[in-house]
Structure 1
Amino acid sequence: MLELRTGRDFWHARAVPELGLEAVFMTDGPHGVRKQNSDPRRVNLTTTEPATCFPTASALAASWNPELLREIGAALGREARALGVGVLLGPGLNIKRSPLCGRNFEYFSEDPLLSGTLASAYVSGVQSRGVAACPKHLAANNQEHRRMTIDTLADERALREIYLPGFEQVVRQAKPWAMMAAYNGLNGRYCTESPWLLGTVLRREWGYQGVVISDWGAVNDRTQAARAGLDLEMPGLSGDLTGGMSQALLDGRLTPEQVSESARRLLDLLSRVQPTGPFPQDEDGLPSLSARAQEAHHALARRAAAESCVLLKNEGGLLPLKEGQSIAVLGAMAQEPRYQGAGSSVITPTCLDTPLEELRQVLGTGQVTYAPGYIRHEGTTTEELLLQARAAARQADVTLVFVGLPEVFEVEGVDRKHLDLPHSHRELIDAALEVSEHVVIILQNGAPVVMPWHRRVPAILEAYLGGQAGGGALADLLTGRVNPSGKLAESFPLRLEDTPCHAFFPGDPKTAEYRESVYVGYRYYDSVEAPVLFPFGHGLSYTQFEYSDLQLSRTEFGGDDGLEVRLRVTNVGPVRGPKLFSFT
């Protein structure tokens, strides 16, 4: 039973052949199934099976649509089954304490209720296909700087009100079959070895019945982790598989009951995610999805990306584009988009829409001119590129400028140093504004950026990281085929210095002190009445709405007295409005 507690290799849990249980494959999966197709005894982030790349969590959160997240979860579960994956490592539930966190593209929001609601729908969708979801990273894992060793120091009110409620909500509502414990320490104990976090809070208070899996390489003391309630250490290691736990059993530091309870949970997980029938096969005999299913998932990804875009500004009704207008498309990200995060979540997409080609298909090639403006992967520009951009913008009725954060700005393992766009992208914006008054900025980024140019630009569309169908979704939105409905799930500050944890982030070499306590995101900006660039919940539409018949009533939510708000929303504008849904 002790050997069951460690993985077989980098991605597999151990088989139990005497019970007919096969080794289960686990893989990253917040916005797509990243199934490594090389040697499972070592990690490879580049050689993976094609899978649908959906928008990242930072984008999907702006949809505020649990039903959409449930659909995406079900699609991910379906692809995981087809690829032989039993445990999908996601979604990411960590709170966006600072916009500098290099992995914020993989997390939903600065708000725990929104995060928990969307994560619960995602988990329910994944598990409806017989695949375990594994929410992560429990808990207070809010930076990449020294993430494997940093000790998070947070008061209990901050933990209970901000950093834990999303995990609690997903445990109570969706009952995930697995949960991932984080690398970092929490108030003096590593999360993988914390009896308070894994025993008192997760299991006793929340009633969690599933398996707790370590983040990859997060276990420092196997006996302490077992005593705390960790069930499975990943990845698998060669050599002594018990790591001193046999001696701990003999001397009483570990009890037989603790070992057997953990084994029971692991066997239950393995039983749940065993294949129930043959997977679809391609011509090489490898698991795959049918072309029809791939097309359906691509269409879902396109709809999700469209719902996730946020119209931040639209002075004079510049958008949607009008029939017959000539359009200049500037920025290399229009031809080679930034559509997903970097690190362990990188997906090999089944196909990829580009904004430039999708716009040409909708508007006609003759209506669209293009200039790259900057060198995509170098973060630089030249005077010749800027001259070409000015010439294209000067001749066009409307200029679309595609800018954002390159992959090296946002990546797992490294936090950002500032909130600026690359200098070359800012130069392109200035070049367009020199010759055109009708400029639309389209942003491709996983987290907030500052916009010192925002007053000079009539229209701004936040596209986030829209996945493989994001280009088509942008064409739909820019041309008015789809009415934008996204709302920000995070605050966009005016300056980095305005963020509540600025003075304390990322901390010293050993500790990260959460001195701002519960004052995270909008809770801080509202309490001190500080101005922001764009507030939490902001998002425009191509039409207008009236609100009437406001009714307030007491309700019970999560065991506490709450307030239910009901009202009538009426579209009084010239454009068909987006789909409305209820969010409790």
Structure 2
Amino acid sequence: MDKYSLLDKMTVEEKVTLLSGKGLWKTAHFPHLQIKSLKMTDGTYGVRYSPEQIDDNASWTISDFLDVVSQSANDEHSHTGGSEALFGKTLPATCFPNGSSLACSWDRELVYQMGKALAHECHSLGVNILLGPGINIRRTPLSGRGYEYYSEDPLLSGELAASLINGLQDQGVGACLKHFACNNSEYRRTEMDSIVDERALHEIYLAGFKRAIDKSNPWTIMSSYNRLNGEQTSQSYSLLTTILREQWGYQGLVMSDWYGIKDRPRSLKAGNDLAMPEVKRDKDELRNAVENKEVTMAELDASCLRMLTLLEHVPQRELQDVDFAQHHTIAQKIAEESIVLLKNDENILPLTTTKYKKVAIIGRGAHSPIIQGSGCATTAPYMLDRPLDEILDVANDDFSIDYAVGAPDDYHEHPQEMEKATELAARSDVAVVFVNTVIGEDGENGDRKNLSIAPTHESLIKAVAKKQKELIVVLSNSDSVIMDWKDQCKGIVETFFSGQGVGRAVANILFGVINPSGKLTVTFPNSLEETPAYLHYPGEGVNASLKLTHLSALSPK
């Protein structure tokens, strides 16, 4: 039966239900009409699947959603290979490099291969729509979800997003391009009002979305939580209909971010078709609005047709096995191509036996790497390369490798461990120190407090530098950091959050197996005051606002 015949047979109640979630991660199904349910899950760099919340007969409450939003990569199971995260028992999956790392590859083909791999893992779980990629402009490096997004440049963001989307959809899994639009801060994200002039809006903040849509036609797009120039994006007719559909010609489905609907009738009239997840109030409001003729049948049917068209796209597939070892190899390759060499004075890298014999590896991150950010995208990695293990493997017997943790905690110093680390550095020929930003400050519904690395890690660098001038720093961070310590080391290796294969990638780069070729996608300031949003973030008063602009918007038109 074609979608128009189906629509004719549906009651108003069924149409309203069709445009609402079923539970937390599915859409409604109607066996008598042969309308199947769609299954969705996060995320932007890994398939985060919780059977307790997704499978048939799953039970859930809003507190389950809030738990996953608040999930920290500091959770032992989230970043060291276990399978139980805060959001139920999350099945292991490939944790690929996060957006802030992935984009530094500037490699569309690699990103396409990642999309294909993500699709295969979706097929193994019966997932039809993967909620990504996210391409909001990294306007301020304080933004909690900056690690998920690609760049401060819309061209690069749009190109790489299109590649990932094509990789997914060529394998029959729909993408959900998000968050549309101007979701550039996590601070009070459901209230934040992004104030953007017209030129900046189209040249920067929407340009990446348009490029991705033109080059990949994502099956779905997700509206954002924030307001845009005073109007909630999930109920903005000018954004979702005038710009997206009339000016750009997008014909796919728009869904809300989870619990992102504040006025269901207004959101549908604006072009927000699907309200996620299932919320009784949203369904009641829409049904009443149709009965009271505040929402016309034509408006309701237009959204239903887009939903039925999406269902036509989704192929019926048997569950398939996944070659996780192959996907791990892809994750390693992407990490290798994404790592950026920020500093290499006196050619301290690569490490060779002609220059060094005794190598000190220092820092918690060498043993327990920080491979990803916090929040709904957090993935339980199927495998994990520990940098220390991989360094020992690549170095073989050619080098003498010793390890000290130095700073076991982000905030509290451990004098004994610090002393062990500096003593090791003093008796070695070269020291490699692994440092990171504070775990858990990145993520959803909150932003970073500053642009520094963890306080104890900064102290560790300075302490080691006093004992060893041949010093290399390996960074794991969500977004840009200030490096007051950069003159105290000769080498800086930037990994951002590079996923489960980062250990082998770092080892290969340190010892010259791979030449680092990653390129930065964001600016590294000398201070927070140098960032463009500094004077406007996070805004003033009860209704916070983030003024977004760029230099061309200030130039004569």
TM-score (norm 2): 0.89
Structure 1 segments, 4+ long, off by >4 Å, are 509-516
Identity of aligned residues (%): 39
Query: Does residue 330 of structure 1 match 2:362?
Result: yes
Paired with 1:201 and 1:329, the residues of 2 have a C-alpha distance of 53
Partner of 2:141: 99
- 2:224–2:257: 8 Å Cα contact kept in structure 1? yes
- 1:403-552 paired onto structure 2 within 5 Å: 403-515=435-547, 517-519=549-551
Aligned counterparts of 1:327 and 1:119: Cα–Cα separation in 2: 40
Per-residue deviation, 1:157: 1.0
Aligned counterpart, 1:31: 45
Matching residue of 1:243: 284
Q: Does 1:368 align with 2:382?
A: no
Return the alpha-carbon distance in structure 1 between the equivalents of residues 49 and 262 of structure 2.
27
| CA deviations over 1:284-308 (Å, ceiling 9, x no partner) | xxxx52xxx1111000000000111
If the length of structure 1 is used for normalisation, what is the TM-score?
A: 0.85
The answer to whether the Cα contact below 8 Å between 1:150 and 1:509 also exists between their aligned partners in 2 is no
Amino acid at match of 1:464: F
Which residue number in structure 1 is paired with residue 188 of structure 2? 146
Task: Work out whether residues 152 and 511 of structure 1, in 8 Å CA contact, stay in contact via their aligned partners in 2.
Answer: no
Unpaired runs of at least 5, structure 1: 281-287, 528-584
Alpha-carbon offset, residue 493 of structure 1: 0.0
Q: Partners of 1:158 and 1:511 in 2: how far apart?
A: 22
In structure 2, how many angstroms separate the alpha carbons of the residues matched to 1:10 and 1:509? 34
- Whether 2:209 is the aligned partner of 1:195: answer no
What is the rounded CA distance, in whole Å, between the counterparts of 2:202 and 2:96 in structure 1? 31
Is 2:307 the partner of 1:266? yes
**1:445-476 deviation line (CA, Å, top 9, x unaligned):** 11011111112211100011110111011011
Aligned-partner Cα distance in 1 for 2:338–2:276: 33
How far did residue 37 of structure 1 move? 1.7
Partner residue in 1 for 2:5: none
> Which AA in structure 2 matches 1:210?
G
Q: 1:274 Cα deviation (Å)?
A: 4.2
1:76 is the counterpart of 2:118? yes
Report the Cα offset of residue 248 of structure 1. 2.3
User: Does residue 62 of structure 1 match 2:112?
Assistant: no
Higher helix share: 2
Letter of the structure 2 residue corresponding to residue 314 of structure 1: N
Shift of residue 270 of structure 1? Answer: 2.0
Give the Å deviation of 1:432: 1.0
Match of 1:383 in 2: 415
Partner Cα distance (1:344, 1:91) in 2: 13
| Among 284, 293, 297, the residue aligned to 1:256 | 297
Structure 1 residue 22: Cα displacement: 2.5
SS in 2 for 1:2: helix
**Take 1:363 and 1:215, find their aligned partners in 2: how far apart are those partners?**
47
Letter in 2 for 1:265: R
Quote the residue 2:6 is aligned against. none
Cα distance 1:115–1:512, how it changes in 2: closer, same or farther (>3 A)?
farther
**Secondary structure, aligned partner of 2:178:** coil
Q: How does 1:344-363 map to 2 (within 5 A)?
A: 344-363=376-395
Deviation at 1:84, TM superposition (A): 1.1
Amino acid at match of 1:22: K
Asked if the contact 1:149/1:510 (under 8 Å) is kept, the reply is no
Q: Partner amino acid for 1:149?
A: E
Looking at both structures, which has the greater relative contact order when contacts are Cα pairs under 8 Å and sequence separation is at least 6? 2
Task: State the match for 2:326 in structure 1.
Answer: 296
Asked whether the equivalents of residues 504 and 512 of structure 1 are also in contact (C-alpha less than 8 Å), the reply is: no
1:279 partnered with 2:309: no
Q: Between Structure 1 and Structure 2, how many residues are aligned?
A: 510
Distance 2:501 2:216 in 1: 28
Cα root mean square deviation, aligned: 1.7
Provide the C-alpha distance between the structure 1 equivalents of 2:444 and 2:47, rounded to a whole number of angstroms.
Answer: 17
Task: Give the Cα separation in 2 of the matches to 1:509 and 1:218.
Answer: 22
Deviation at 1:515, TM superposition (A): 4.2
Residue 176 in 1 paired to residue 218 in 2? yes
Q: Which amino acid aligns with 2:22?
A: R
Q: Are the equivalent residues in 1 in contact too, given 2:25–2:53 (CA < 8 A)?
A: no
- CA displacement, residues 529-557 of structure 1 (integer Å, 9 cap, x when unaligned): xxxxxxxxxxxxxxxxxxxxxxxxxxxxx
The equivalent position to 1:307 in structure 2, one of 337, 340, 357, is 337
Aligned to 2:375: 343
For residues 80-229 of structure 1, the aligned pairs below 5 Å read: 80-229=122-271
SS state of the match for residue 135, structure 1? strand
